[in-house]
Amino acid sequence: MQLMGEAQGAKKVINSELWHACAGPLVCLPQRGSLLYYFPQGHSEQVAATTKKTPNSRIPNYPSLPSQLLCQVHNITMHVGAQ
C-alpha cells in the first residue's frame, strides 16, 4: 500500500495511522487482491459534485458500459489535501 501526499509535485510518504485517523472511523479500504464492484455512474456523479462543475455541465454518459463492474484491487494510494 502506498501512502502519498502531493506538495508542489513532490511525493511524500505519510503515516498510515495518521491518514486513517484523519479519514475517520467509517473509512474502510479493501486489501490488495480483493474483489469489489465499481459503479461508473456513481463515480462520475461524485467527480462532478466535488469538482464544482457548473449547473450546465453534464455528467458523461456511457450507455454501453454496465452499471457495475467486478474488479480486483491491484494497488491502493492514499492522498492528503491541504485542508
Q: Supply the pLDDT for residue 11.
A: 66
Q: Is residue 83 part of a domain?
A: no
pLDDT in tens, 13-67: 778 888 888 888 898 889 999 999 999 888 888 887 887 766 566 666 777 889 8
End-to-end CA distance of the chain: 23
22 Cβ neighbours under 8 A, 6+ residues apart: 80
How big is the chain, counted in residues?
A: 83
Note if the pTM is more than 0.75: no
The total number of structural domains that make up the chain? 1
Sign for the CA dihedral angle at 23, 26, 31, 32 comes to negative
Pairing of the two strands 35-38 and 2-3:
unpaired
26 Cβ neighbours under 8 A, 6+ residues apart: none
Show the domain range for 55.
Answer: 2-78
